[in-house]
Amino acid sequence: MNDATRFINYINGHYQELYNRFQAFCNDKNYTFDPDIFQDTILKCYQLIEKQGTMKDDSDKGIENYFFMSFKQNLQRESQYARNMKRDNNIVNLAGANEVYLNSLLTEQEKLKSDLYKDFAALYLLKQVEDNFDSEHFYLFRLKVFDKTMTYRKLSEKTGIKGCRQKVVDCKNWLKQNVKQEDIRKEFDAIYGEIL
């Protein structure tokens, strides 16, 4: 019998006992016990043991210790993930609520001007990158900036271009150093100032 089979047989034979002990551990430490994490830990442990082919300690106590440490690690990862998700959602919700509130204070004309300025600023920045960088830099910058779900890894996979991250960062750094908010505002007012 290999170690992965021995592990799963031991867990199956002591499932309820382990379930209760882990639940008691969580209650004692004021963690939230999640049966999904418990099940996920069983599956991940089994897959890892099967992949490695062996366990360091395949005694009953060794199996329990390995399972318990894996469970604790999964609990910590899950709580970290949940905390980050909650924080990110709160930031997004706060920013969205703030924008809705500010928009409610604006008149229709001010809203139109604000939206037009945002679009103008984005196009102005794109034009600056296009004028001051080669076509590859411009292409990567445009993809990264206008697709909010685009990670650097996805960008590299999609384009097949090496050094994507550095090229986009070069464009961003150049813009920070050479383009000021006042320049964009001045250009915007020169074109649209009298219309709005």
Domain ranges of the chain: 3-89, 107-192
d(CA 113, CA 118) in angstroms, rounded, equals: 9
The first and second tokens of residue 67, run together, are 């399972």
Q: Who contacts 179 (Cβ-Cβ below 8 Å, separation ≥6)?
A: 124, 125, 128
152 close to 161: Cβ distance less than 8 angstroms: no
Q: How confident is the model at residue 82 (pLDDT cuts 50, 70, 90)?
A: low
- The whole-number average pLDDT for the span 110-134 is 87
Full-model pTM = 0.45
Residue percentage of the chain with pLDDT more than 70: 84
pLDDT of residue 94: 66
Average pLDDT, the chain: 83
8 neighbors 64 (Cβ within 8 angstroms): no
Place of tokens 């779900």: 149
Contacts of 9 (CB under 8 A, 6+ apart): 1
